[in-house]
Structure 1
Amino acid sequence: MSDAPDSGTDPYLWLEEVGGERPLAFARARNETVVERFAAADRFDMLQRRILDMLDTDAKIAFPGRRGEWLYNFWRDAQHPRGLWRRTTFAEYRKPEPDWDVLIDLDAVAAAEDENWVWGGAGVLRPAQARALISLSRGGADAKVVREFDLETREFIAPEDGGFYLPEEKSQLSWIDIDTVYVGTDFGPGSLTDSGYPRIAKRWRRGTALETAETVFEGAVTDVAISAGYDRTPGYERHYVGQATDFYNEDVYLLQDDGSRVRLETPSDADESWYKDWLLVRLKSPWETGGCTYAAGSLIVTNFDRFLSGERDFEVLFEPDAHTALHGYGWSENHVLLVTLEDVQTKLYVLTPGADGWRTAPLADTPAMATTSVMNLDPLEGGDDFMLMTSGFTTPTTLLSGVVGAPATELKQAPAFFDATGIETEQFFARSDDGTMIPYFVIRHRDNRGGPAPTVMSGYGGFEVSRTPGYSGASGMGWLEQGGTWVMTNIRGGGEYGPEWHTSVQKANRYKVYEDFSSIARDLVERGITTAPQLGAVGGSNGGLLMGVMLTRYPELFGAIVCQVPLLDMRRYHLLLAGASWVAEYGDPDIPEEWEYIGRYSPYQQALENGAGATYPPILLTTSTRDDRVHPGHARKMAALLEDQGHRVWYHENIEGGHGGAADNKQSAFQAALIYEFFTQMLIEGRTSK
């Protein structure tokens, strides 16, 4: 049984105190139980070791980020668990064993400073690439310390020596020139939004105190965030600010030399980008302008200066249909490269402007049942070069390089980490409750076609996040090799069929996400792929909310559930950490009409209402103390409630790790092995008792 609850309407509210002694004692006690039950066996140790070896191996691809002549890479292995930030040239990278120039050894920095640093990213100043803004977090949190780094001396520049520095916050810091940055951070009371992000953008000059930085824009506390940036394209330099009024709407302004602003008059829910003379707009809702109506999901283009002067003459670069959506796009020096999804499988195209308009041609062939993405476009310094990354459920990642107009050639091939002999990928469609056909992929050994087999289905269904095929050595080792079947779902809420696949299930229509997932669960049984007692489900973050709904609303469909870093208490989600920024997705529970539909599925409230008499499948809840995006209180409170009701629940809380759940490869390997051991015991061996 859990500790005695505090008084009040929520008996487990005390578990929301992130670093409190009682909540941490609660977590540690349950961690011990989980380790004893699932992590003590030789089988667990063997799987964890295999996954860790995969994460640490030197044979994996060192994926680069291109900045002109340099390819940057952040690398972790057994000798460098915190990681190395390094760079090399393209010619060197082509070699089987490139000679990397190590810029930062994060393990050495953490040891010297006695800090639990986790890499958060680097912003390199162009064109010289002699300075960078380095983000580091303690334990993997979203809040980061930002420090200036000299790539020539290989040292951080201390604030007292004129270096740019920000203490731990959810800040934004970006280069204008070597002596000037745009900054958004906690400047004092009232400087953050209700979501905990910067409300004010300032221009900060080297050698001056942060409090004297010049304000360039102020938003409202009800906004999600304010940002500022600088486009340094030679001859087309532009300063701009963004005002995100909610998670999906942002007003963009160009900053003029006199300090005034010009609003870019595109729909606030659209994605706009510019390059030299061109303005690209990717629409998320229909837009009527210039006497034409452009469909949601379209990509349209016009001359930037003529648009600013009032003209609205657009050309359509892409228009979706019932099966095809835009997945991504980017500029090379002279072309736009498009990635589309045709029933969740990628196709690549190159678009070229000319005197007679734009022409479209295929860019490269793409394999079926796989995802191919375009990366490392660098229109400022890289010409029309690009890289392609392709990966399938059973096909390890291949990295290719190419230039527009010539075939791409293989650069690197990742090794296989599990035996995929006989394992095949199929795509099916399930009919949801409202008749919509929902795609999903089934990955299984051909021998499993003879009858139902233990199966795990994963889902997310939110924020227009598309889930596409990709290689997972961990699921291959931990599940497919054990004879299990893996299922990836493409439920609504994602972007697999364009923005309306997402917008159609926001707020009051959220229930359709859960109908989609539950319909696939039934379809798996009807097709004979599995049975309900053999069917597991896993999801994290918004997918953790999905798992909570499955537990409390559709428990008869599943034999076991894993719920990771979840939202579960939807009555209070908007009051916890970054939760206020997601009101545009779920609704505002403080508005009675909106709580009416949120409350119908909110897992924590549903569990309270269902009581001890409900029958649930066994569930493993996981979270991280250092997750400062989704509050660990969601998972803690749900675990305590289910325990007190007498349900079969296990709870594990990583004291580090942030929203990703792990701060290093060792923790990632533990988390993955824990999930597959849980499913093995529950679905294959039937060991469902506590």
Structure 2
Amino acid sequence: MRNDGAQDLSPEPEDENLWLEDIHGEKQLAWVKEQNAKTLDRFRDGLFDSLAGDLRTALDSDDRIPMVAKLGDHYFNFWRDKTNPKGVWRRTTWESYLTESPDWEILLDLDELGRVEETPWVWAGAMVRRSDRRRALVLLSPDGGDAHRVREFDLQSKTFVDGGFNIPSAKTRLAWLDDDTLLVATETDEDSLTTSSYPRQARVLKRGQDVSEAQIVAEVPRDHVAIFLGSDISPEAEHTDRAVIIDAIDFFNTSTSVLDIDEVRGMDGALSQEPSAWEKALTTVDVPSNVEVGVERDFVLFRPQSEWNSETVTVPAGGLAIADIAEVRAGTIAPRVIFAPDAHTALQSFTWTRGFLVLELLSDVQSELVVLDPNDDFSARPLSGVPANHMVGLGAVDRHDESTANDFWMISTGFLTPSTLSHGRLGEDGFDAEVIKSAPALFPAEGLSVEQHFATSADGTKVPYFQIGAEGLELDGANPTLLDGYGGFELSRTPAYSPVVGIGWLGRTTSAGRRGVYVLANIRGGGEYGPAWHTSAMRENRMRCYEDYAAVARDLIDRGVTSPTSLACAGGSNGGLLVGNMLTQYPQLFGAISCGVPLLDMRRYTKLSAGYSWKAEYGDPDVAEDWEFIRAFSPYHLLADDTDYPPVLFWTATSDDRVGPVQARKMAARMQSKGVADVWFYEDTQGGHAAASDNEQTAFTRALSYRFLWNTLTGE
């Protein structure tokens, strides 16, 4: 550190592959094309095509549960299948939805739209206005990336509105304020974006107005991550219309402001054009920046990332507290704790119906549901019947409709259990639920079982993991095993039915009769045990998540489940960074590695795509003090000469505007230049951060990963 208080800047190491950072350059794409050809020539054969076909069939299955969102009298769904690879947006009635073959009204056919407009549009969502349910804002990505175009759509004529809202492709955030007004954060010029490439200005956009001329009602500094928006608008007379504006300082620190829409409405109901009126109606919630804030009806909810000592009570990290919104707006915050975690149990999410608050908890990565009653001093009662090694999620149907005010959807799923959808209703005396849809089994699960184990990490921490494999598994180290994980951004990995994993791995059998074993590790950096589980592996403590993952690998080997030559690992995005560190720091533990849409060059990650927004998670490599610990988990800089690395496949997408394809390109190029054998690379041109914009692409990229891993471990 310099004496003048400024931070020393770390010099950038020599990088012979900077030329590959030109994502769409002719020379660069020629390199990609050559790499793709080599990889497909090696792994695309009859078995690959068969696997990709099976995955595509499962993903396109007409027997999948069509999940719906209720708006008014209709239930909306977006659906992809073999006939409609890009998908259709559609709706039906409740009576029809309950039948085995609902009668769907097609609202928008993306395949047809793409043909007419000569653009391969990818669905990014829709926002139906609640006043009359007649108009919607449809979000469409031109290539599957995070940037999307916003167009107003008429649900009666099933056409885009001539002269309606139409915002060019950008990483736009928006919300309805009334029938003719939006709250919008989008790109208008260079000054409208943060360094992380996200919008930083909130504007009030009137119908027919150019977005660049819309009034700015809030903005955040350029070095913050983004500005986020939301609104809760309803025609109900007793409902208070509000909007929420969030200044995302970094990934884990925010400042939330509440905008009371009624205060900027005139006697005629029109929204004010006076900036001072909007400023007066905006209240910033005065809490520490690491306290997450939510607004629901007349309540403000608080979930701190670390212990919060308010003036009236101490709220534990990962706890949930609540206060009256009138008091908050008056500058008096006196929260009361309505949930406190313990060493084994963490709050994952919560859902409101009109009369109840439902908490979704994890207890040692086992699902629990608890219902709180605001009308009975937030008294709590558990929802029983959640089976072990399964996840149960609950969401409100439509609290704005009196007939469904306390109705809920319940999704139950497990590694070997296809999902079921139940519909129920909460009441003061309990609840009742009925299964209304069940997904079919899409891979053979007979003879398989699910177990939970705990490995001991380098510092003594117990790390849970799920193991799915044959009943009575022979523990001789010869089982082909795939280790999965993520370990970042407080994202929890939990049991779920995946036909891709089932068909691609669990359903495979070696010539010796061994079935694939799949393992999911719940390492630090995730949120399985709440914020502390995450923060304990951030920045200078990042190595803990890699030590946890290696500990699970060693435990599998020590228990005889597998051996290094029979153990593979796979991960994407932050999970790609995870397995990149397995490749460079623990190569002796693995026989194959699949590294998807990854972070790998941690010296330049803040300069690539949206990487600047992740500094809170990893640190700032431009600061010499941070680079000292970041370099210890930067796979691109950990590559060494004369080291035996396991075979590796890097896969990514040209259109990924979140992580970008650059890091995978450079890592593959550097390894190949060092003469490392079995380094493979594949880059899809579309698909965004998922490297897949439809089921066909998903099936193709996942088939490539599984074909590579299985062939490398088994030789088959």
Q: Place the TM-score, normalised by the shorter chain, in its bin.
A: over 0.9
Q: Does 1:147 align with 2:151?
A: yes
Equivalent residue in structure 2 for 1:117, among 114, 117, 121: 121
Partner Cα distance (1:595, 1:459) in 2? 25
Aligned to 2:8: none
Q: Which of 463, 470, 474 is the equivalent residue of 2:489?
A: 463
8 Å CA contact 1:174–1:182 kept in 2: the answer is yes
Note the alpha carbon deviations across 1:606-651, whole angstroms, 9 max, x for none.
Answer: 11xx12x111000000000000000211000001111111112010
Matched residues in 1 for 2:229 and 2:559: separation? 52
User: Which amino acid letter does the alignment assign opposite residue 618 of structure 1?
Assistant: P
The answer to whether the Cα contact below 8 Å between 1:226 and 1:243 also exists between their aligned partners in 2 is yes
Matched, 1:29 2:58: no
Q: Tell me by how many angstroms 1:497 deviates.
A: 0.2
The structure-2 alpha-carbon separation of the partners of 1:351 and 1:496, relative to structure 1 and needing over 3 Å to count, comes to: same
Matches of 1:371 and 1:68, distance apart in 2: 29
| Structure 1 residue 450 displacement after superposition | 4.1
Q: Structure 1 CA distance, aligned partners of 2:714 and 2:212?
A: 60
| Post-superposition offset of 1:447 | 4.3
Look up the match of 1:540. 572
Note the C-alpha offset of 1:231: 2.3
Q: CA deviation at 1:390?
A: 0.9
1:391 aligns with 2:413: yes
Aligned match of 1:577: 609
Residue 4 of structure 1 corresponds to: none
Q: Deviations over 1:157-190 (max 9, x none)?
A: 23xx2x1111111112221111100111111131
**Any idea what SS the aligned residue of 1:449 has?**
coil
Question: In 1, Cα distance between the equivalents of 2:336 and 2:684?
Answer: 51
Aligned twin of 1:3: none
Aligned partner of 1:625 among 632, 635, 654? 654
The alpha-carbon distance between structure 1 residues 64 and 324, as it changes in their structure 2 partners (threshold 3 A), is same
- Paired amino acid for 1:595: W
CA deviation digits over 1:562-611, x for unaligned, max 9?
0000000000000011000000100000100000000111000111xx12
Report what 2:278 is aligned to.
259
Distance across 2 between alignment mates of 1:95 and 1:533: 50
Who is 2:112 aligned against? 108
Quote the Cα distance in structure 2 between the aligned partners of 1:392 and 1:240: 35
Deviation at 1:103, TM superposition (A): 0.5
Q: Give, as a single letter, the amino acid of the residue that structure 1 aligns with 2:132.
A: A
Structure 1 segments of 4+ aligned residues over 4 angstroms from their partners: none
Partner of 1:420: 445
Q: Distance in 1 between matches of 2:190 and 2:544?
A: 41
The farther-off stretch of 168-177 and 128-137 is: 168-177
Residues 378-416 of structure 1, C-alpha deviations (whole Å, 9 max, x = no match)? 322230000111111111111111001332110111011
Q: Distance in 2 between matches of 1:74 and 1:354?
A: 36
Cα root mean square deviation, aligned: 1.5
Task: Give the aligned partner of residue 644 of structure 1.
Answer: 673
Is the deviation greater in 620-629 or in 250-259?
A: 250-259
Cα deviation for residue 440 of structure 1 reads 0.2
Equivalent residues in 2 for 1:192-271, closer than 5 Å: 192-233=193-234, 234=236, 235-255=239-259, 257=264, 258-260=277-279, 261-271=282-292
Q: Tell me the residue number matched to 1:503.
A: 535
Displacement of 1:239:
3.1
The separation in 1 between residues aligned to 2:584 and 2:649, in whole angstroms, is 14
Classify 1:8/1:333 alpha carbon distance in 2 versus 1 (closer, same or farther; 3 Å): closer
- In the alignment, residue 345 of structure 2 is paired with which amino acid? T
Q: Does 1:19 align with 2:19?
A: no
Distance 1:91 1:197, change over 3 A: same
Q: In the alignment, does 2:615 pair up with 1:596?
A: no
Query: Which consecutive residues of structure 1, in runs of 5 or more, have no partner in the other structure?
Result: 1-6
Q: CA deviation at 1:34?
A: 1.5
- Cα distance between partner residues in 2 of 1:150 and 1:663: 25
Shift of 1:364: 4.3
| 1:667, distance to aligned residue in structure 2 (A) | 0.9
Does 2:637 match 1:605?
yes
Question: In the alignment, is the contact (CA less than 8 A) between 2:352 and 2:396 conserved in 1?
Answer: no
Q: What SS does structure 2 have at the residue aligned with 1:440?
A: strand
Partner of 2:343: 322
Deviations 1:218-252 (A, max 9, x none): 21111111133332254322233211111111111
**Correspondence for 1:659:** 689
The residue type equivalent to 1:678 in the other structure is F
Match runs of 1:353-368 below 5 Å: 353-354=374-375, 357-368=377-388
Q: Deviations over 1:505-552 (max 9, x none)?
A: 111100111100011111111111111111100000000001111111
Instruction: Out of 253-262 and 656-665, give the one that drifted further.
Output: 253-262
Q: Distance in 2 between matches of 1:576 and 1:676?
A: 28
Distance 2:142 2:247 in 1: 28
Question: CA contact under 8 A between 1:330 and 1:377: conserved in structure 2?
Answer: no
| Residue from 430, 438, 446 that aligns with 2:471 | 446
Are 2:184 and 1:157 aligned? no
Q: Give the direction of change, closer, same or farther, for the CA distance of 1:20–1:157 in structure 2 (3 Å limit).
A: same
Q: Which amino acid aligns with 1:374?
A: L
Cα distance in 1, alignment partners of residues 117 and 393 from structure 2: 38
Q: Which residue does the alignment assign to 2:714?
A: 684
**Count of residue pairs the alignment pairs up:** 672
Superposition TM-score, scaled by structure 2 size: 0.92
Change (3 A) 1:548 1:187: same
Deviation at 1:448, TM superposition (A): 2.4
Alignment correspondent of 1:374: 394
Aligned to 2:512: none
- 448-457 vs 629-638, greater mean Cα deviation: 448-457
Matches within 5 A, 1:81-96: 81-96=85-100
CA distance in 1, matches of 2:94, 2:300: 30
Shift of 1:663: 1.2
SS in 2 for 1:236: coil
Choose the corresponding residue for 2:557, options 525, 533, 553: 525
SS in 1 for 2:663: helix
Q: Which whole-Å deviations, capped at 9, do the CAs of 1:72-96 have from their partners, x for residues lacking one?
A: 1110111101100011122221111
SS in 2 for 1:80: coil
